[in-house]
Amino acid sequence: MKLLLLLPAALAASVGKYDGVPTEVNESILIDFSWCRTYNSSGTCGVAQLNHAQCYNLYDLDLWANDNIQQVSVENGRCVLFERYDCKGDNTQTFVGQNLFVETLCPRPGWNRIASSVKCCGGEPGAYWCAKPSVRPRCKD
């Protein structure tokens, strides 16, 4: 009988406080984010390894990429583009994959001309979003 009484207390202690980051995400794995200012034109492309849950202004990745990207690719995670610096303002939905045309990430036209920052999260596409775990980013138009 004592074992049964201790079991709930042991389970409660092992659960701990939820810190907002899913346990299946290895935060030390860098996320490969690449972009092209002109679709399918390698001379206008760049690549960066981004940290989990960190915001990057596009001009810090490529001086000419701010408000000027047409193609994105993501490996080892998923990303969201934001309209303003410091991952503020309207945003795209979460995206993952290769050679994605920025114009098709959301119904709103012109994302290739307004994207100013990016935030990526590690893990599988279905994992919780690292910035707000209870909310999956959707297009805000």
For residue 55, what is the enclosing H or E element? strand 55-57
CB atoms within 10 A of CB 92: 24
What pLDDT, in 10s, does the model give residues 22-58? 446 778 889 999 999 999 888 999 999 999 999 999 9
The residue among 124, 63, 74, 71 whose CA lies nearest residue 102 is 71
Q: What is the pTM of this model?
A: 0.79
Under CATH, what is the fold of the domain 28-120? Gamma-B Crystallin; domain 1 (2.60.20)
Say if residues 37 and 44 touch (Cβ distance below 8 Å): yes
Q: Which of 39-43, 46-50, 97-101, 127-131 has the lowest mean pLDDT?
A: 127-131
Query: Domain ranges in the chain?
Result: 28-120
Amino acid residing at 34: S
